[in-house]
Chains A and B, each alone.
Chain A
Amino acid sequence: MSKAPLMMALPSKGRIMEQAQGLFARAGFKVARAGSARGYRGTIDGMSGVEIAFLSSTEIAQALKEGTTDIGVTGEDLLHEAIADADNVLDITLRLGFAPAEVIVAVPKCWLDVATMSDLDEVSAAFYAGHGRRLRVATKYSGLTRRFFAEKGVTGYRIVESLGATEGAPAAGTAEVIVDITTTGSTLEANQLKVLDDGIILKSEAVLACRKSLAGQPRIIDLRDRLESVL
C-alpha cells in the first residue's frame, strides 16, 4: 500500500495558496507547478512518491470527501460544508494557523428584538404567519446552515444560494438573514448586520487534512512534524 503514490492537493489561488506554499518552502519542500505556470499538476522536492494537484480550496474539500485526494490543505469551513460527518471521514493532521475565519449567522442590526437563534426561530414563525412566505437565508454554506439550524430547532426558513457578496443580501432585499464567513466583522458592520449571541457555527482556519484511513502513516507523520516545526 505504501508504494502507491500519495495524492496531495494544494490550493491553487488566493492568500491561502501563498501561505501554504510559504509554509511548505520553510519546511524544505519546494513546490512547483509542472509545465506552464498555470499548470494543474505539480511536483514537490523533498518528498518522494507524492503527486501534487493544484485545486481551489472548495475542490480540495470535495476531493478529500470523494477520496480522489489523500491529503490536502484547505479551510476547515469548506471541509465541514462539503462533508456532513467530516470528523468520521477525515483526520485533521495539523492546524496551520492561517486563514482564520468564523462562519456565523447574522441578521439586520435593526432587528432590535433578535439576539439568539431561539429569537430567530420565533421570528421565522411570525414572519411566515404575517408575510405568507418563509424567511430567506443567503449563504454559500447550505450544508452547514441546514445542520446548524436543525440542531438549534430553527426550521421555518428558505436558503437562497449566494455566490458572492452574501453580506449585501439583506440590504438588497434578496434575503433577510445571512450565514457567511467573517474575519474581522468589518464587512458585517458596514452592512449593518449583527452576529447572533449563539450564532457562531464554526471557528475555522487552514488545515492539513487527510483521509482517516491514512492517518498515522509514517510519511504523513513525517510531513506533519516537518511542517509543525516551522509553524
Chain B
Amino acid sequence: MPGKTSGERRALDALTATLTSEFETAGFDYISPDILQPADVFLDRSGEDIRSRTFVFTDPEGREQCLRPDLTVPACRFHLSHVADPADEASYCYSGPAFRYQPGQYPHEFHQAGIEWFGADDAEAAEAEVLALTLQALKAAGLKDYTVRLGDLGLFHALLASLDMPERWRRRLHHHFWRPRAFRALLQTLTGSAKRRRTSISPLIDELADADLATATALVEAELDQQGLELVGDREISEIAGRLAEKAADRLESPLAAADSAQIDDYLVIRGALPDAAGEVGALAEEIGGNMIHAAQRLQNRIELFRQKELAVDEFEFVAVFGRSLEYYTGLVFQIEIAGPDGGTRTIAGGGRYDDMMSDIGAGKRVPAVGCAIYTERLQLALEGRS
C-alpha cells in the first residue's frame, strides 16, 4: 500500500531511533548523506548493468543523477568531502531511504540504518566491532532469533596468491570469481582439461608463438600498416600487443597443476560452523603455505575477537563462496538472516570490508573501510512476526 499511516511512521521512527541511538552511543557520528547522487559515481564503479536496478534521470542541465541505491557510497562521498585526508579515521552512522528498481517487486523505496568505519588501522578489530555493534542494535530493537553467515574474500585472494601460476591467470580468476560458471570454465581451460576455442584472432596468435612484448608490438604495427588500419578506440598499440603476447604465452605455459586446481575446489566447498570451518581452512593453509597461512591466521584472530565480544561464534556459519554475488567487498562479508515465510531465509542486515571503494570513487588512494546496513522495514516486519 502506498505511503505509511501515522502509526506505521511512528513505529518506523521509534525503531530507527533505537538503532541509531546504539550506534551513536558507540561513538559513530550520525550523518545524513544526500539522497540525490551523481549517477556517474555508481555507473563508473559498477558498470552499466546497475542502470537496470537504479533510478537514473537527467537533471535540467543534462547531467545524470540518481536516487541512491544504498547509503554506503553516499557515506563514502560524504567522508571525502568532509575530511582533509581520505585516510583520516572516521566512523559514521546513518538512517534513511534508498531506492532500487526490481521488476515486479514493490516498494522500490526502503529504509536502511547502518554504520561505516573508514581508516581504522586494526582491520580485524574494526570488523569485530562492526559486527558486534550491528548485533547489539538488532537485539536492542528486540530481535531474538537470527543466524549470522559469513565469508572472507581475502582468503580467496590469498589462496590464489599462494598457488603457482602466472599473475595474469590470478587476475582472470579473480575477475571471474563473481560468476561461478565462467570461473569453472576458466579453471578448466587453465588446467588444460578444456581445449581453448579457436577464434578469428587465433591465426595471429599462432604467428606470435613465443614472441616477447617488443616483437609482438612490431607485429601489431606491421599488421595495422598492412591492413591500413587507423588506431582508434583509445587503446595504445602496447595494450593490444600486450594482450596478444599474453594469449600467445598462455598456449606455451604449463597448465595449472591438477593438485592446485583441486585445492581451489577444496577451498570453495568449505562451509560449516565458523570454528570448524576455520579449522578446515587452517588445515588447507598448512598444505598450501604462502600467504594462505597468514590469511587463515587472520580468520582465527577474528574468531578470538568475536569471542571477546561474547558473540556466539559457534552458531555463526562460514561459507567459502559467500560474497560471490556482492562484487564490492574485498575481505570479510557477513549477513544476518532470519527464517523467511517460505522456509527460506530473509536478510535483515549485511556488511563487510570494502577497501577498494574510496579509491574507485576518487580518493586517490586505498582507504580501509568496513560497514553494515540494516534493512529497517524488514526488521520491523520480523519484530511484528510478519516476516
Spell out A's residues near B (CB within 8 Å): 84, 107-116, 119, 121-123, 125-127, 130-131, 133-134, 137, 145-146, 149-150, 153, 155-159, 170-171, 173, 176-177, 192, 197
Residue contact B232 to A170, C-beta cutoff 8 Å: yes
Tell me which of B46, B48, B172, B201 contacts A112 (CB under 8 A): B201
Q: Is B308 an interface residue (CB 8 A)?
A: no
Q: Is B175 an interface residue (CB 8 A)?
A: yes
Q: Give chain B residues whose Cβ lies under 8 Å from the Cβ of A192.
A: 229-230, 232
8 Å CB contacts to A: which residues of B178-197? 179, 182
Which residue of chain B is the closest to A152 with respect to CB atoms? B182
Residue contact A158 to B201, C-beta cutoff 8 Å: no
Q: Give chain B residues whose Cβ lies under 8 Å from the Cβ of A110.
A: 224, 229-233, 240
Tell me which of A114, A115, A116, A157 contacts B48 (CB under 8 A): A157
Q: Is B336 an interface residue (CB 8 A)?
A: no
* Interface magnitude class on chain B: 35 or more
- In the complex, A178 Cα to B32 Cα: how many Å? 40
- In the complex, A129 Cα to B233 Cα: how many Å? 16
The 5 closest A-B pairs by CB, nearest first: A115-B199, A108-B233, A113-B243, A155-B47, A115-B201
- In the complex, A123 Cα to B48 Cα: how many Å? 15
Residue contact B234 to A176, C-beta cutoff 8 Å: yes
Residue contact A109 to B229, C-beta cutoff 8 Å: yes
Residue contact A149 to B44, C-beta cutoff 8 Å: no
Given A113-B247, A123-B243, A126-B239: A156 in contact with B229 (beta carbons within 8 A):
no
Q: Give chain A residues whose Cβ lies under 8 Å from the Cβ of B239.
A: 126, 130
Tell me which of A111, A121, A153, A158 contacts B233 (CB under 8 A): A111
Tell me which of A126, A137, A159, A173 contacts B243 (CB under 8 A): A126
Report the minimum CB–CB distance from A144 to chain B (whole Å): 12
Residue contact A108 to B49, C-beta cutoff 8 Å: no
Q: Is B244 an interface residue (CB 8 A)?
A: yes
Given A133-B44, A146-B49: A171 in contact with B243 (beta carbons within 8 A):
no
Tell me which of B48, B182, B202 contacts A146 (CB under 8 A): B48
Residue contact B172 to A122, C-beta cutoff 8 Å: yes
- Not counting A119-B199, A130-B239, a sample of 17 additional A-B residue pairs whose C-beta atoms are within 8 angstroms of each other reads A108-B229, A108-B232, A108-B233, A110-B224, A110-B231, A111-B233, A112-B220, A113-B240, A113-B247, A115-B202, A116-B199, A134-B43, A134-B48, A146-B52, A156-B47, A158-B47, A192-B229
Q: Give chain A residues whose Cβ lies under 8 Å from the Cβ of B6.
A: none
Residue contact A112 to B244, C-beta cutoff 8 Å: yes
Q: Is B204 an interface residue (CB 8 A)?
A: yes
Which residue of chain B is the closest to A127 with respect to CB atoms? B235
- In the complex, A197 Cα to B200 Cα: how many Å? 7
